[in-house]
Structure 1
Amino acid sequence: MVDADATRSTTPGDSSRRSRLLVAGLSIVVLTVAVLQTAVVPVLGVIADQLQASDVAVSWAVTANLLAAIALTPLIGRLADLHSKKPVLLIVLVVVLLGSLLAATTTSLPLLIVARVLQATSYALYPVGIAILREELPEDRLMSAMAVMSGTLGFGGGTGLVVVGLLMSGDAGYHRVFWLTTAFTVVVIVIAVIVVPRRPRATTGTIDWLGAVGIATGLSAVLLALTQGQSWGWTSPATLGCAAGGLVVLVGWWMWERRAKQPLVSTAMLKRRPILLTNLATVFVGMGLYFAFLGLTQFVQIPREAAGYGFGATVLEASVVFLLPGVVAGFLIALFSGRFIDRFGARPVLMVAAVAGIAGFLFIAFAHSQAWQVMVAGILANAYISLGYGALPALVVSEVGAGETGIATSMNAIARTIGSSTAAALVAVLLSRVVAGTDVPMESSFFIIFIGGAVTAALAMALIVFSHLGAPEPESVEARYESRAMNHEWG
């Protein structure tokens, strides 16, 4: 590996400024992931109307994006571990830019779906960004920097919804959203060129292509069953076949990876209790993100005169009035989350995050007749997501060597995607339960969604507690730094 002291040059002041610039730049880069993931959701109905397509057909703009993301992220993460990271990052951004341009200019649904597949490479920006931070920063700055970047990813989903709400006022076409993502990606490319230094490859190895195909096929099949089960029927041959086939492929992939000389993903790494339980906790935090954003967004738009609950908000009102306070809170918390993790350690911060999530979800489940109640719940939920997204990757990185950072954080990102997709499918099922004679969802459905958010936050907290009980001290330098910081505070 390249000597860190040799690559971080000049005076301490220059190094500190460069570090801050790198963290800020990469935080904006990974914001692309969240914006592209959530920005399309509010305009699916507009896309269906303007392209004269069915809702089921248009839903593939989301489904194809998720399937491509879950297939490509581990491979790109591994490429970042094996090669110079800046070129990998820039290639991914160029592919995202091509996808945004195609989406902004096409009037064909098949081409729009292709564009969304190209945009799915953006999911790999996060693990590549984490790998760059680990390569560039000294150990005493790494955890706080990761927390800021990860927290930015957490509040970015809400930011995307708010921006889309502002853009889509009036009779605006859906292309406006993709022109925004195009312009944003151009800015991000410029930032990446300026702030990310180019280093020679730090490790050697090869790509396990069969392993890459296996994990892509297995996870995609399972995710396809989750995302399309509502429209296909949960007991239909297609849904059950995809789920069963995907699980069989994943079992075969696991057996292959255990025997491969240079596996795509180390199964020994994935089986280690701290990483296994942290990834499972990430699934639940990813579910919380969608329970919050989808649940709150849909709830406030329900007309009260027709349903007896809700606020009859437009997309613009839902974004600016109800979601914006939580987004602002998430942004501020993301900025300071690194200091919290440096001072107290990642696990205590996760405990506080989970408590905030439990409180927010329970509050909105039982008290949602006033606008301020929704806003308070949104602030607590965004605090949970921002802190959770900031602390979880710190736990993963502290358990792996530098040469596995990209693939380890890629698997953590996949866990988050699986959680989000599962929650989205559950929300779709629950909101399909409508009041007799209307198309308005039952109020009890939202109650279950918000209770689900509280339960998943509690499960995430429990998993993090058990991941550390009786575990041996981690061996990585970053983990030793985190352990020293925690001992200083609590000792």
Structure 2
Amino acid sequence: MLIPALCFVVMITAVMQTAVVPLMPDIATQLGVSPNAVGWIVTANLLTATVCTPLLGRLADRRGPRRVLLCILGVVLVGSLLCVAWDSLPVLVAGRALQGMSFALFPIGVAVLRSALGPHRLTAALGIMSGTMSVGGGAGMIAAGLLYRDGDDYRRVFWLLVVLAVIATALAWFVVPDSPGSGTSSGADFWGVVGLAVGLSALLLALAQGGTWGWVSAPTIGCVVAGALVLAVWYRHERRFDAPMVTPALLTARAVAPAHLAAFLVGIAMFVQFLAIAMFVQVAPEQAGYGFGASVLETSLLYLLPGQVVGITAAGVSGLLVRKFSADRVLMAACAVGVCGFAFVGFAHDRPWQVIVAVAVLNIFVSVAYGALPAMLVEHVAPHDTGVANGINAIARTFGSSLASALVGMLLATITIAGTDIPSERAFVAAFAIGGVTALIAGFTAAASRA
């Protein structure tokens, strides 16, 4: 019962991230705000995730994962209730910020599994849980398509998030076993907490708002420079501090650095395929000469759902593959599948079946890769560092997804059909090429980790 319960708990992270994306234009209309303003419902969510995930992972290592997991779910539930309680953008942004703490559920779930299961069962469980989270993004899109129609109150989808948070909290309360933490004080490294929060927030803010501010504008460049400088000072502080919040070796050691870089690259590839394909199939062919004019519902059920089913199946197999062949080899194979999927959709996207097949292939890549990444870390980190190490890995994926969102948005805005603002077919092909290249580099990264 523990594995299915944790799969559901961590899946809500991805659902909460993606279910609101199709609604953003309608949210802006219903609240009477600009598209730039409504973008903060995504930015606030990612900022909270970036700041809190590694810190909550470390707290779980020290205080026990069950206690921290239940506290996070309580905060997420409060945030979900805020999203439906008032029809107001500031309250909605605040609720989405609280929901961002759900990103820490996955690394803490890894810590729970490691403490509760033996090594023989652990790899299979990690594969299933990781793959389930990877398909949660598509599940969120499908849920939005099923629940929302043009003109409906956008809060119908947020009520679903409330229900999911309640169920997840109940499951965690009754199923997740208690386990002791390391007992080390979690409040000693104050400047380490502040430096990590400020540095990561500045970099993510540049990625999230660069398209609005301008990529070479003073605010964007300022955030990048400030974030890099703060993180450099933070890293030096952590190396000298006796009890650091994040041990530098968990970032840069040869045994774990490839897993973090691969997670960043897989995050890029995953979000490229999710965004680019979802937007491609919705383009009206009579206007652009490509695309299928699909609605949000058709996109969800026809183009995404079959791939989600395949992805869930692949997730169940990924743990068995990791146990038999090792995590780095499985990641290499998954990335090779990803390269093939992106190459296929780049050249063949004139028929619906071609896109459906490509989505299925790419979901195999993402699900298996997500199952291999935590296994790569568990092989090389001590049990008392499981939460924070996987928290860092989760943040690497988040930064990859944020960069992918910015890249796809920039491509679709700049490579357009002459005389219109409609993206050219070449823009989507370029996005698929970026996904393929990042999957290829992730595979080489996994291979390098074996040297």
1:239 counterpart (200, 220, 224): 220
- Is the aligned partner of 1:180 residue 2:163? no
SS at 2:422 equivalent: coil
CA contact (8 A) 1:102 1:111 kept: yes
Amino acid at match of 2:170: V
Which residue of structure 1 aligns with residue 192 of structure 2?
Answer: 211
Following TM superposition, by how much is the alpha carbon of 1:357 offset from its aligned partner in structure 2, in angstroms? 0.7
Following TM superposition, by how much is the alpha carbon of 1:346 offset from its aligned partner in structure 2, in angstroms? 1.2
Query: How far apart in 2 are the matches of 1:40 and 1:179?
Result: 12
Following TM superposition, by how much is the alpha carbon of 1:170 offset from its aligned partner in structure 2, in angstroms? 4.4
- Is the aligned partner of 1:352 residue 2:336? no
Which residue of structure 2 aligns with residue 341 of structure 1?
Answer: 322
- Is the aligned partner of 1:382 residue 2:340? no
Amino acid at match of 1:48: A
Which residue of structure 1 aligns with residue 12 of structure 2?
Answer: 32
CA contact (8 A) 1:206 1:262 kept: no
- Is the aligned partner of 1:426 residue 2:407? yes
Which residue of structure 2 aligns with residue 364 of structure 1?
Answer: 345
Following TM superposition, by how much is the alpha carbon of 1:153 offset from its aligned partner in structure 2, in angstroms? 1.0
Which residue of structure 1 aligns with residue 443 of structure 2?
Answer: 461
Q: RMSD value over aligned CA atoms?
A: 1.1
Following TM superposition, by how much is the alpha carbon of 1:199 offset from its aligned partner in structure 2, in angstroms? 2.6
- Is the aligned partner of 1:139 residue 2:119? yes
- Is the aligned partner of 1:259 residue 2:257? no
- Is the aligned partner of 1:276 residue 2:239? no
SS at 2:149 equivalent: coil
Q: Could you tell which deviates more after superposition, 153-162 or 456-465?
A: 153-162
Following TM superposition, by how much is the alpha carbon of 1:54 offset from its aligned partner in structure 2, in angstroms? 0.6
Amino acid at match of 1:453: G
Following TM superposition, by how much is the alpha carbon of 1:437 offset from its aligned partner in structure 2, in angstroms? 3.0
Following TM superposition, by how much is the alpha carbon of 1:358 offset from its aligned partner in structure 2, in angstroms? 0.6
CA deviation vs aligned residue, 1:277-314 (integer Å, no higher than 9, x gap): 11011101000111011000000000000000000001
Query: How far apart in 1 are the matches of 2:353 and 2:125?
Result: 33
- Is the aligned partner of 1:67 residue 2:47? yes
- Is the aligned partner of 1:443 residue 2:425? yes
Following TM superposition, by how much is the alpha carbon of 1:200 offset from its aligned partner in structure 2, in angstroms? 3.2
Unaligned runs of 5+ in 1: 1-20, 470-491
SS at 2:418 equivalent: coil
Which residue of structure 1 aligns with residue 291 of structure 2?
Answer: 310
Amino acid at match of 2:217: S
Which residue of structure 2 aligns with residue 286 of structure 1?
Answer: 267
SS at 2:449 equivalent: helix
CA contact (8 A) 1:74 1:212 kept: no
Which residue of structure 2 aligns with residue 478 of structure 1?
Answer: none
Query: How far apart in 1 are the matches of 2:243 and 2:132?
Result: 33
CA contact (8 A) 1:65 1:117 kept: yes
Query: How far apart in 2 are the matches of 1:458 and 1:274?
Result: 20
2:304 counterpart (307, 323, 326): 323
Amino acid at match of 1:166: L
Q: Could you tell which deviates more after superposition, 437-446 or 309-318?
A: 437-446
Output aligned runs, 1:406-421, within 5 Å. 406-421=387-402
Query: How far apart in 2 are the matches of 1:300 and 1:383?
Result: 20
Following TM superposition, by how much is the alpha carbon of 1:60 offset from its aligned partner in structure 2, in angstroms? 0.6
Amino acid at match of 2:372: A
- TM-score of the pair, normalised by structure 2: 0.98
Following TM superposition, by how much is the alpha carbon of 1:209 offset from its aligned partner in structure 2, in angstroms? 2.2
Query: How far apart in 1 are the matches of 2:136 and 2:237?
Result: 37
Query: How far apart in 1 are the matches of 2:292 and 2:76?
Result: 36
Output aligned runs, 1:107-122, within 5 Å. 107-122=87-102
Query: How far apart in 2 are the matches of 1:158 and 1:352?
Result: 23
Following TM superposition, by how much is the alpha carbon of 1:203 offset from its aligned partner in structure 2, in angstroms? 3.9
CA contact (8 A) 1:295 1:449 kept: yes
Amino acid at match of 1:95: V
CA contact (8 A) 1:105 1:175 kept: no
CA deviation vs aligned residue, 1:444-485 (integer Å, no higher than 9, x gap): 11011000110000000000100111xxxxxxxxxxxxxxxx
Following TM superposition, by how much is the alpha carbon of 1:94 offset from its aligned partner in structure 2, in angstroms? 0.6
Following TM superposition, by how much is the alpha carbon of 1:417 offset from its aligned partner in structure 2, in angstroms? 0.3
Amino acid at match of 1:62: V
Output aligned runs, 1:54-203, within 5 Å. 54-203=34-183
Query: How far apart in 1 are the matches of 2:186 and 2:33?
Result: 44
Amino acid at match of 1:260: F
Following TM superposition, by how much is the alpha carbon of 1:204 offset from its aligned partner in structure 2, in angstroms? 2.5
2:203 counterpart (222, 239, 262): 222
Query: How far apart in 2 are the matches of 1:206 and 1:65?
Result: 24
CA deviation vs aligned residue, 1:105-145 (integer Å, no higher than 9, x gap): 22111111101100000001011111111111111111111
Query: How far apart in 2 are the matches of 1:362 and 1:116?
Result: 36
Query: How far apart in 2 are the matches of 1:276 and 1:87?
Result: 29
CA deviation vs aligned residue, 1:256-292 (integer Å, no higher than 9, x gap): 0000110011112322113111101110100011101
Query: How far apart in 1 are the matches of 2:449 and 2:52?
Result: 28
Query: How far apart in 1 are the matches of 2:198 and 2:233?
Result: 11
CA contact (8 A) 1:284 1:456 kept: yes
Query: How far apart in 2 are the matches of 1:209 and 1:22?
Result: 34
Amino acid at match of 2:336: V
Query: How far apart in 1 are the matches of 2:65 and 2:279?
Result: 40
